[in-house]
Structure 1
Amino acid sequence: MRAIARFVSGRGTAWIALGAAAVAIALLFALLPQGESDAYPPSGLPDSSDAKQVSALLEEFPDADTTAAIFVYSRGGDALTEADTAAITASAARLAELSLAPQAVVPQVSDDGTAALLAVPLDGAEYGPDSEGGIEQAATTLRDDANAGLPDGLEALLTGPIGFQADITNAFAGADFRLLLVTVIVVAVLLIVTYRSPVLWIVPLAVVGIADGLARVVVTSLADPLGITIDASIGGILSVLVFGAGTNYALLLVARYREELTRQESRNRAMLTAVTSAGPAIAASGGTVALSLLTLLFAELAGNRALGVACAIGVAIAILFALLVLPAALVVCGRGLFWPFVPRVHGAEGHHHAAAKPGFWTRLGEGVRRRPAVVAIVATLGIGVLAVGLTGYQVGLSQTDQLIGDPESVVAQRIVDDSFSAGLTGQTVILTPDAVVAEATTVAESVDGVESVRPGESANGLTRLDATLAAEPESDAAFATVEQLRADYAAAGGEVGETLVGGADATALDTNTAAANDQALIIPLILAIVFVILALLLRSLVAPVLLIASVLATFFASLGASNVIFQNLSGFPAFDSNVILFAFLFLVALGVDYNIFLTTRAREETVEHGTRAGMVRALSSTGGVITSAGILLAAVFAVLGVLPVVALTQIGVIVCIGVLLDTLVVRTVLVPALVFLTGDWFWWPSRPARNAVQDASRDGETGGATDGGGPAHARHSAAAR
């Protein structure tokens, strides 16, 4: 680390480092293939999934590449007139000309006479996600045809597979630009407020922005070779993570650089000290995040694996830019970059510390130090109260709950729920051996929740049965019906027992199951990685346990607070299936970042001043910058809420609340209180405070304190040795 720091901060070598970085970045942008992210996220189910097997087998059927447009004609709840019925019939005739089965395109009027339903089978190659012009263009063409010539007040709403896919794709349309623009604005404003300089913010923002652009290029270019799919949601999370983590690392480095500029005239030596001091903490923090993300490689869902690879690459690039490019850029720009508050040397190092001590963070640290037990109990109770909000939480959103607002497909589905059978727009596909079609049909018809079963085409010894369920697509009731179907077929045995149940509802059910399996596997792996890194970095077995416990408490508190907000204010009935895993990943990995920044500085100070005094000094030195970094990171993740997708909004809100809790409560008062309570045992089995010598005038202590430094501790250490 010191050799690298010397090179990027040297008087002449800083220019060389900056130039070499510019050339390397330009070459990567120019030479790497420019891949693109997919707008519509694939399911990414494991091969063992019944739904995945059904999808694979259906590709060999004659009508494999088919899809359906479901239109709902409505007057907003009013009864349809005779003119409306005639216009709907004419609309159906026009749409039938586009259909693979024109004779099947017949409108069905609801019993209450307020709506009509029309199913249009279509060629997936022409109207599916991979069609020329994309799913949005296909949906627009279909809507125009359906609405042409309708009387005033009568509207044809598109739902079903094409409608929902088009609305999801539209939700991500322009997502990259919107997320990037809002993120840049948020980061710029917070950096200006933090640095109180109209100039300084430009350098870290430019460095992080280039890192984000490079991360996108690298990730998309590696997608095909690595066999992963980068959809718009992964691209959005990648940008947020690179900007959030990158600016956090920049804040820590700049803060230490500014501190060193008040101690020595040479900006090169100041940066050398800053990189060698803050660099290991930045590397350890970023390494924790990257390794935690890589645990997703063990996930069943391909989307989770893709997210892990993409974001791990992004974090690695952010670390490299923070430790190699940013130091060189800051050194080259000189002290004037901090204008108008240009740091000047205040005199001897000890004098500077003495002058800097009586600040807010020092007073807060001393206050916690006087009553650590009370502070720890109050903070823990507060976190516990927030965690109570998890009572009654649910996981899994129905199809109509996955988008924010009232997109057309959701409005149409609600009309179907009210006026028809909710499951009419769903699609449950049963594949059974040709010899037992009658028995398989009887089994399906006997299951509660199955309204009808229609035999279809055959291929390779299998016959397709299309089942209509009574429940709303992707709802708990639909999942229960699919599970019962599978259970009854398995119980039937023989050839009937070989029957597979797939389709949209089965795919959603299997996705939820795989997500739960991923959560059960990945969470312990993340905790193990975080523990090992903390143990190696702090050379302690006690500190990692306490720090991880504090971060876990933050995670449950943020989930509880978010659950209350989602159910009572946002109207989200449940967490999306992947939200808890992603929130845990980001909160634990990023939350440990701040504890690493604080405790590594505390260990550094402990060597000279003792454990308790060292923690006060560490809080004094890092309190401002870590708080600024936490607020910035929370704001950056909140930016995910600009997209009308419930899952991304939930991740943004949970991580935002969790980071604020971790920054303002856990790292500020709870962790220091735990250190004050445990004293030197916090670092067990190492003893960094054994050589500390008490300095009452410098540490603000009185008498022979026993805070880990001083004569009492020295005698204890000597006896222990």
Structure 2
Amino acid sequence: MPADRPAPAAAPPAPSARRRRARLLVPLALLVVWLGLGGAFGSYAGRLGEVATNDRAAFLPRSAESTEAARLGAGFRAGDSLPVIVVWESRTGPLDDTRRSAAEQALHAAAALPGATGRVSPAVPAADGRALQGVVQLRADLGRETGDTVRAVRALAEGVPDTTVGLAGPAAILADLGGAFAGIDGLLLGVALGVVLLILLAVYRAVLLPLLVILGAVFALGIACALVYLLADHGLVTVDGQIQGLLSILVIGAATDYGLLLSARFREELHLHGDRFAALRTAWRQSVEPITASGATVALGLLVLLLSDLTNNRALGPVGAIGIGCAVLSALTFLPAALVLAGRAAYWPSRPAADGRAPVHAVWARVAALVARRPRALWAASLAVLAALAALAPTLDAGGVPQSELFVKAQPSAAGQRLLSAHFPGGSGNPAVVIAAADRSEAVTAAAAAVPGVAAVRATTAGAPGGAPLVVDGRVRLEATLTDPADSDAAIATVHRLRQAVHAVPGADTLVGGYTAQQDDTRTTAARDRTLITPVVLLCVLAVLVLLLRSLVAPVLLAATVGLSYLATLGVSAVVFPHVFGFSAVDPSVPLYGYVFLVALGVDYNIFLMTRVREEALRSGTREGVLRGLTATGGVITSAGVVLAATFAALGVIPLAFLAQIAFIVAFGVLLDTLLVRSLLVPALVRDLGDRVWWPARTGRAVPGAAPAVPEPAGERVGPGI
């Protein structure tokens, strides 16, 4: 028990002045190295946007039919292009010839914009006579300039009098994505660091310590971003705004958590040692194993994403693992150097005294006393709550986010799509694409046109619409406009029928792609990834826990409780997303991301707890040791959980549904795991099982005459922590 741990034996003689100066050389050298690295690479934290792409086509399933169709379909365009669909809706009755002529002039003017390819369609009237649509092809390599060009197209389109203008299609969506991610380098980072700093100041009531922890996280992020920048610049990884944001949050959250564990142990040891160097040696030695194991579980969990067939999942694996590695390196080198140089001043205005009694938080002493009295009732009640919430998990719809819900806030592309769907077939602007052998084009066209749910089929031509089909490498490209919105389940059902129909044409060698097919293939691939990756991540986590705890029972116990916590989080999300946030469904990758983050990060806190329990069990036996470990680590682990939840919640500043869903799942799951699983469920189970938790080892053996596990809270000095 930290409050009654015996003080070290007689303190060694005070070191000489020369020896004191020599002992300062290593931390000073480490500090200089880290300051140099921070100065050299710190700017990269704001430069990942230079090598990021938000083109959704770059993140398709690698082996899917729609991906191959997109690859072959690119050859039918004179230079790759990105369409923006312009819709004019009349505000004063049917459109007359004057406004139609103005729309044609606007389209031809848009063709001359610097970012356009020069190719536009005519203004096509709707069947009800109250709307027109035209397509302007933009260069696909515009990158960040796409938004400027789309705004220029809108400005020209708004010259048509008495009409409401909407822009839809891939270019409009990409422009909105660029706007959504515009603040990811500055706004997200600033909010995350600001929230973490406020929490640390409130919890630890110290001035210098929070700044040292934050500085270590910033240094780690700078190096991680520099490494990822180099990899992305050489085409070794693909980075988009989502991965960019997740990397920042992962590094800040992990580096802060690891820093809190080390700094809390250093503070404890300062009470037991008069010498700060001796205190740091003990703190570092007792912290290096859990910090390294925690980093390993997260990094391995992320690297398992390399098994995914979705390119963005595969990219997150090495990118996230690099970030975690940098966080561990910073926590074990920069922060120890800074802490030993600052000494007790790091905790100012409090000043840990070398009195042989480490601080104990009274709240956690009471929690430990509750676990000691009613362990079986506590773990049974906790399991019942988690099981009830987990029962709702199957109701979470991971079928994909509709285009209208891609963004948390209203965006112009969503409004444009609604305007387009109101007057034209629901799939206008996002047709299904059929690639087929040129000598079977008529049969394929007839088969596609006969499919229920297909409104029209037309071939890509070399010149004006209605001309001969363009043939590239013996193939033709057909566009099948669907009657239902391209992101709807009805459209996906139509694509299934379309694939069956055109695949049945002998010798046609057909492939069906387009937005709807991509959505369907992504959904199928995501389900396959979950089936494959989920058990592999669990095995990696179990392997690390077995090596760390030298046990089989404890790792299985910890992994099972974290897995149940994850399912409970999905159950809560299934209720909260539709009824609170208004999400009708979640992105297919969200459950997998949530699983990897929550299992790996959730096990972190159990690692912090159980390594301390194992340490205390060697002194006083398992049943006493778990109470001592809970009391000693309760404050710092809860603080770390709150910090990590807050950093992931900061993703909410980016108005994208995918990140908002990830933010809620991870933030809620971390809090559930920290406050219920690690604080009550695991300690109660370990208390009830006793030494059996270490099987086949025999770690827990009570030491004769050991002090009581949980002292009375009254009169104890309160340490930092929640």
Is TM more than 0.5 here? yes
Q: In the alignment, does 2:108 pair up with 1:96?
A: yes
Aligned to 1:194: 203
Residue 377 of structure 2 is matched in structure 1 by 374
> Is the CA contact 1:70–1:117 (under 8 Å) kept in the aligned structure 2?
no
- Alignment match of 1:40 (pick from 54, 62, 72): 54
Native 8 Å contact 1:9 1:327 kept in 2: no
Confirm or deny: 8 A CA contact 2:266 2:279 kept in the other structure: yes
Q: Secondary structure at the match of 1:203?
A: helix
8 Å Cα contact 2:438-2:474 kept in structure 1: yes
1:695 alignment partner in structure 2? 705
Q: Which amino acid aligns with 1:447?
A: V
1:32–1:157: structure 2 CA closer, same or farther, 3 Å change rule?
A: closer
Residues 683 and 226 of structure 1: is their aligned pair in 2 closer, same or farther, counting only changes over 3 Å? farther
Change in CA separation of 1:9 and 1:270 when aligned onto 2, cut-off 3 Å = farther
User: Which runs of structure 2 are paired with 1:498-509 in the superposition (5 Å)?
Assistant: 498-509=509-520
CA displacement 1:400-445 (0-9 Å, x = unmatched): 2211122111112122333332111212111111111121112112
Shift in alpha-carbon separation, 1:297–1:180, aligned structure 2, 3 A: same
Could you tell me which residue of structure 2 aligns to residue 430 of structure 1? 434
In the aligned structure 2, how far is the partner of 1:398 from the partner of 1:33? Answer: 31
2:391 maps to which of 383, 388, 393: 388
Match of 1:332? 341
- 1:666 paired with 2:677, answer yes
Q: Which runs of 5+ in 1 are unaligned?
A: 1-5, 703-721
Listed one character per residue, the Cα deviations across residues 536-573 of structure 1 (whole Å, up to 9, x for unaligned) are: 10011111111011101110111111221110011101
Rounded Cα–Cα distance in structure 1 between residues aligned with 2:593 and 2:477: 37
| Preserved contact between residue 301 and residue 537 of structure 2 (Cα < 8 Å) | yes
- Residue identity in the other structure for 2:122: V
Pairing partner for 1:479 from 475, 485, 492: 492
Distance of 1:8 and 1:279 partners within structure 2: 25
Structure 2: gaps of 5 or more residues: 1-18, 112-116, 461-469, 713-722
Q: Report if aligned partners of 1:434, 1:461 keep a CA contact under 8 Å in 2.
A: yes
Matched, 1:233 2:242: yes
AA paired with 1:93?
A: Q
What is the DSSP-based 3-state SS (H/G/I as helix, E as strand, rest coil) of the residue aligned with 1:334? Answer: helix
Structure 2: which amino acid aligns with 1:369? A
**8 Å contact kept, 1:594–1:663:** yes
Structure 1 position 31, deviation (Å): 11
Residues of 2 paired with 1:33 and 1:410: CA distance? 29
1:520 is aligned to: 531
Distance 1:358 1:555, change over 3 A: closer
Q: Is the 8 A contact 1:92 1:107 kept in 2?
A: no
Are the structure 2 counterparts of residues 391 and 305 from structure 1 closer, same or farther at C-alpha, using a change threshold of 3 Å?
closer
RMSD (CA atoms)? 2.5
Deviations 1:452-503 (A, max 9, x none): 11122221111111110111122222222212222233344x313x111112
Residue aligning to 1:319:
328
Q: 1:385 to 1:166 in 2, by over 3 A?
A: same
- Percent identity of equivalent pairs: 39
Once the two structures are TM-superposed, the CA of residue 529 in structure 1 deviates from its matched residue by 0.3
Aligned to 1:659, the other structure's residue is in SS state helix
The CA deviation at 1:687 is: 0.7
Structure 1 133/384 Cα, relative in aligned 2: closer, same or farther at 3 Å? closer
- The CA deviation string for residues 219-241 of structure 1, in whole angstroms up to 9 with x for no partner, is 11122446211111111100000
Distance in structure 1 (CA, Å) of the matches to 2:422 and 2:227: 48
Whole-Å separation in 1 of the counterparts to 2:95 and 2:475: 44
CA shift in 2, pair 1:192/1:453, >3 Å: same
What is the aligned partner in structure 2 of residue 686 from structure 1? 697
- Write the letter of the residue equivalent to 1:424: S
* TM-superposed deviation, 1:110: 4.9
Distance 1:407 1:138 in 2: 16
What is the CA distance between 1:97 and its match in structure 2? Answer: 4.3
- Structure 2: distance between partners of 1:589 and 1:41: 29
Give the partner amino acid of 2:425: S
Change over 3 Å in CA distance of 1:20–1:167 after alignment to 2: closer
Preserved contact between residue 32 and residue 221 of structure 1 (Cα < 8 Å) = no
What is the alpha-carbon distance in structure 2 between the residues aligned to residue 459 and residue 626 of structure 1? 61
Match of 1:289 in 2: 298
**1:34 Cα offset (Å):** 6.8
Q: Deviations over 1:372-407 (max 9, x none)?
A: 111111111111222233353211112222111221
- Does the aligned pair in 1 maintain the 2:51–2:232 contact within 8 Å? no
TM-score, scaled relative to structure 2: 0.89
* Paired position in structure 2 for 1:108: 125
Q: Distance in 2 between matches of 1:7 and 1:576?
A: 57
Query: What is the aligned partner in structure 2 of residue 184 from structure 1?
Result: 193
**Which amino acid counterpart does residue 18 of structure 1 have in structure 2?**
L
Q: What secondary structure sits across from 1:423 in the alignment?
A: coil
Question: Which one-letter code corresponds to 1:467 in the other structure?
Answer: A
Q: Distance in 1 between matches of 2:149 and 2:711?
A: 74
Are 2:422 and 1:418 equivalent residues in the alignment? yes
**What are the Cα deviations for residues 289-318 of structure 1, in whole angstroms up to 9, with x where unaligned?**
111111112211221111111110010000
8 A Cα contact 1:630 1:660, kept in partner: yes
Q: Note closer, same or farther for the CA distance 1:186–1:137 as it changes in structure 2 (3 Å cut).
A: same
1:364 is aligned to 2:367: yes
Give the equivalent residue in structure 2 for 1:631.
642
TM-score, scaled relative to structure 1: 0.89
Q: What's the CA shift for 1:587?
A: 0.4
Spell out, residue by residue over 1:609-641, the C-alpha distance to the aligned partner (whole angstroms, 9 max, x if none): 000100000000000000000011001101111
**Contact 1:403 1:644 (8 Å CA) reproduced:** yes
Using CA pairs below 8 Å that are at least 6 residues apart, which structure has the higher relative contact order? 2
In 2, Cα distance between equivalents of 1:651 and 1:62 = 37
Q: 1:143 aligns with which of 151, 154, 158?
A: 154
